Structure 1
């Protein structure tokens, strides 16, 4: 087979889909699951904490770079997985005939180690896997009230197993009972993993619900403020009033966009987690037990309304942001039109002043011709008086009279030529500036 140049991530991407298989379970087993939200430094501390457990158990130090570790300590097994927002610890212990009621998979885990697990506990669940020979479904159902809405019972894996839970927290843990009718070890492992994922993603999705309630209160206030600003915009009687309203709109837009930025991830994560919950319920392949709600019905009744509230709040927030943006654009357009009108009026005043200045300049130029002609004729008169013997029979008065129109014409031609040169220079400068 010829060798091809491979993408550097080909093997990594291929291994990713095989990296987190469910732990096969041999009935009967105890399973305890803990999920911890990441804090500022908890993710960095998890690797050292796992190595500490391995050292206590006499096992090789685990490699945590892949984000998943499996440790077999003999008395118990540990599956560790790091996710984006949380890290999960799944402990599995074989149920012995000597175990008494109320025991679980954490009994053999060093207490000082599990008390120091980094992060904030968000999910804690005990699962007990038994065969129907040990515990019959009829016995469990007889202990439940058929009218108890929190009691969930259903068959899973097309009838190969039974699941019982109430999603209540007692002594810090929620609890599931899984009865094995004809589950293979891998089927049992997949069923338990799906139940743990449903419990985890259900709680993670609900993290957005308090955020939605807080945002809804702010949205109601912001919507009322926007309505008042729109009324003020309609009543604005001057550009100053419109600028004042625009300032308030800009501040309101900043507040709403800040809220969108802070909550967009949480609302998006809630929708994604809810989608995973529904997918895992589909994977269970539930069969309804008469008189009891299934897990799907429970989620539709209890979880779906909260998720719908989050989705509605997110859409309402985005809609408000768009309305504020459109209102701001409308007001800016009004302000720009008013500024343009003022600029046109100012330009008209400047044109009027320019015309007046030009007329005044022409008047001054006319007076300048007269003044220069007067002083020039006086000079001619002085010269003529000094040279009257040389210019006889022309008298100084005649010479002065003759010089007046000549001087006036020369001065007028000179000023006219100067204006033409200045106009040509100004026109040339304007043309160069345009390029």
Structure 2
């Protein structure tokens, strides 16, 4: 039996998820290279926009076409390929892309002839994006830098322009790593790996981890300038919130509406800062965690007299990362405090409005009661008025009948009709009231 991905199975299984094999094979997609030692490597990390990412694939295809190699697919995010004089490894991440170039053999001065010199200059100059990290690395046999039974630290320091170096034994003592974490006159930082007993795959993993540490620590620090820039904004917002809450503590309710407007404006400013910079602070935390993980993967052991890479990085980065974390946390806390103050002030404003509404309803009830009494008075007067006009009409009719020869006394007829007319008018008004009440209920 054959499934939809040309995988033979002996069992009648359900249909495969469309992404099953893609997800399963992802763990093999960025496998470390098997390197022939000694070796030189150059590493570039470029910050890219979404438009530049597509241009990057097209630009990489030009390099492959130049050397007659297969071009990366349109949605590819990594490539490993060997060209005539160098080997390339390309990886595209969410914010940046990395290029690592490998060249076999290492001269006595490991950084005098870096691997990047083998890459076409015209192609390099047109790489899309902004350069964030540039680093050279070299793996040399231990015999090259030995001085008797130990390492020649003077020769190692000379590789870093005699700057103070940090380093450690890594991968169970199979290698030693040295760097000064400085950008040299050529615009590149440097890593020197002394090979004691490295295997090919082990060397590839080690170089990859070192380059990742360099990239992730720089990417993590992207949030630090933002944190410093936002410090005055935090102080100003805190002071403004204090002023508003202090005014709220006063018994004067006449300013509540204005204070609520100020709080709303302050909340909008804070939320704007949070939404604008949340991604950067979250990414900084994630990158710093990756730096810590890669340092642990090195399994560093101290070399007497110098700092390890982990000690150096943590001592320099922890204050900056603590500042970033503190800034993010303070903005979140400030947002919550503004929200609490807004809720409290809205409650107070709602209570004042409710009291005003109750006073207004009481006033309307009094007016309605007065209008009802006035209406009753008017109705009483109207009964008299209607009776007066109705009896006047009866008197006129009686006079007309007497003039026609009927034996009618107009004054007597009017006097006798008055009580009947008054009762009829009163009953008529009562009937109208009942009709109105019935209509209102419906």
Residues 381-400 of structure 1: pairs in structure 2 closer than 5 A: 381-388=395-402, 392=407, 395-400=409-414
Given that residues 39 and 119 in structure 1 are in contact (C-alpha distance below 8 angstroms), is that contact kept between their aligned partners in structure 2?
yes
TM-score, normalising length from structure 1? 0.93
Equivalent residue, structure 2, for 1:56: 66
Q: Aligned-pair distance for 1:56? A: 2.0
Residues 364-379 of structure 1: pairs in structure 2 closer than 5 A: 364-379=378-393
Residues 85-234 of structure 1: pairs in structure 2 closer than 5 A: 85-95=95-105, 102-136=112-146, 138-140=151-153, 144=157, 150-170=164-184, 171-234=186-249
Corresponding residue SS for 1:246: helix
RMSD of Structure 2 on Structure 1 (CA): 1.9
Could you tell me how far apart the structure 2 residues matched to 1:196 and 1:383 are? 121
Given that residues 236 and 242 in structure 1 are in contact (C-alpha distance below 8 angstroms), is that contact kept between their aligned partners in structure 2?
no
Could you tell me how far apart the structure 2 residues matched to 1:213 and 1:336 are? 40
Equivalent residue, structure 1, for 2:36: 26
Given that residues 63 and 69 in structure 1 are in contact (C-alpha distance below 8 angstroms), is that contact kept between their aligned partners in structure 2?
no
Give CA-to-partner distance per residue, 1:69-116, whole Å, 9 cap, x none.
112113100001000000000000012669886111011110111111
Aligned residues: 424
Given that residues 149 and 293 in structure 1 are in contact (C-alpha distance below 8 angstroms), is that contact kept between their aligned partners in structure 2?
no
Could you tell me how far apart the structure 1 residues matched to 2:424 and 2:143 are? 132
Equivalent residue, structure 2, for 1:276: 290
Task: Give the unaligned 5+ runs of structure 2.
Answer: 1-9
Aligned counterpart for 2:419 among listed residues 387, 401, 405: 405
Q: Aligned-pair distance for 1:64? A: 5.0
Give CA-to-partner distance per residue, 1:387-425, whole Å, 9 cap, x none.
348764x63212111100110000001001101110111
Given that residues 89 and 101 in structure 2 are in contact (C-alpha distance below 8 angstroms), is that contact kept between their aligned partners in structure 1?
yes
Equivalent residue, structure 2, for 1:433: none
Given that residues 150 and 167 in structure 1 are in contact (C-alpha distance below 8 angstroms), is that contact kept between their aligned partners in structure 2?
no
Q: Aligned-pair distance for 1:304? A: 1.4
Equivalent residue, structure 2, for 1:431: none
Equivalent residue, structure 2, for 1:80: 90
Going from structure 1 to structure 2, the CA distance change for 1:168 and 1:41 (only over 3 Å counts) comes to same
Equivalent residue, structure 1, for 2:5: none
Range with bigger deviation, 304-313 or 112-121: 304-313
Given that residues 168 and 174 in structure 1 are in contact (C-alpha distance below 8 angstroms), is that contact kept between their aligned partners in structure 2?
yes
Give CA-to-partner distance per residue, 1:152-198, whole Å, 9 cap, x none.
12000011100000101102111000011011111111111110000
Q: Aligned-pair distance for 1:236? A: 6.3
Could you tell me how far apart the structure 2 residues matched to 1:173 and 1:149 are? 14
Given that residues 46 and 132 in structure 2 are in contact (C-alpha distance below 8 angstroms), is that contact kept between their aligned partners in structure 1?
yes
Give CA-to-partner distance per residue, 1:189-219, whole Å, 9 cap, x none.
1111110000010000000111111122211
Q: Aligned-pair distance for 1:2? A: 1.8
Could you tell me how far apart the structure 1 residues matched to 2:50 and 2:168 are? 40
Give CA-to-partner distance per residue, 1:268-296, whole Å, 9 cap, x none.
11111111101001100111111111111
Given that residues 142 and 196 in structure 2 are in contact (C-alpha distance below 8 angstroms), is that contact kept between their aligned partners in structure 1?
yes
